Structure 1
């Protein structure tokens, strides 16, 4: 599995209703895309939950062939025409919990942290698995733990129906739609 995210930082005065409308119209188009295990259409509005206006979909792909089919598709070409050529982050997935209830998520959190030099990756993977399990027990509808060995970072991505009472680190998003087979 491969996790993938790109994002667009929008101007501070951008009307985020345009993004919400775009998600409502285009979100269902990927509901049955071959090889897509999950796509969450994420946005964040500048203010209390985010320092910037963001549009930042997060994907989980079965394999690189499925991801490449999407990146070569007309849909991605139209996105690029509308918002520009994005930098795409890609992480090999360590662990994923993808509940069928994820399609009802209303909130998402994403935490990216550096991996310390020479960290024992097996031990880190086990720690991340334990954290994923704790978050599922706290109500996460989907949970992905992954890492990126070029910049040596790890990512924890979670979908929630309700944000837990305990503060969560990282970027917070609203979820406009979830595509899931």
Structure 2
């Protein structure tokens, strides 16, 4: 499993209906994309749920590198580049994935939490705790699914949770946490995402 996210920050007065229409008309194009576990079409709107910005921030879980590469070097991503410029594409190696009680329902919100690992952190212990937290988070009512991944270049841990509702998340201990609306979920390989520890 590979996690991928890019974020397009838009002007404060940007009409987010433009992004909503874009997802309505193009979101289904990845509903059958080979190698894709899921793509959550995420937005934040300035002044909604505490967001300081307007942002379009699609998040992906890939089952195969071939699928991820086909997307990044294909016409779909190029269309986004043509419309918005080339974004920084963040990516993480998957550590774990879990299904929640609302797995059969459509997620409406998402949470993205990033925690940097300090130079003195024992990486194996941190990852073990993150996987324990993953199982606990995924068991909460309203959770569709949750994933944890790591970027070993910048040494940061990513927790990503999809929910069927906007119920409040656990209190944040450290790192940064952001909340998003999910406009559409393309999930052609959702059932193929391996659950539990990814190694």
Bin the TM-score by the shorter chain.
over 0.9
How does the TM-score come out when normalised to structure 2? 0.86
1:8 aligns with 2:15: no
CA distance in 2, matches of 1:158, 1:60: 12
Report how many residues are paired: 181
Q: 1:44 to 1:11 in 2, by over 3 A?
A: same
1:157 aligns with 2:164: no
Look up the SS of the partner of 1:104 in the other structure: coil
Higher helix residue share: 1
1:138-157 matches, within 5 Å, as 138-139=140-141, 140-157=143-160
1:21-40 matches, within 5 Å, as 21-40=21-40
Contact persistence 2:110–2:162 (CA under 8 A): yes
**Which one is further off, 91-100 or 72-81?**
91-100
> Over residues 40-75 of structure 1, what are the superposed CA-to-partner deviations in whole Å (9 max), with x where a residue is unaligned?
000010014211000000000112221111001111
1:73 aligns with 2:78: no
Contact persistence 1:103–1:180 (CA under 8 A): no
Structure 2 alignment gaps of length 5 or more = 189-199
Look up the SS of the partner of 1:158 in the other structure: strand
1:11-160 matches, within 5 Å, as 11-49=11-49, 50-98=51-99, 101=103, 104-139=106-141, 140-160=143-163
Look up the SS of the partner of 2:103 in the other structure: helix
Structure 1 vs Structure 2 CA RMSD: 1.7
Look up the SS of the partner of 1:101 in the other structure: coil
The equivalent residue for 2:181 is 174
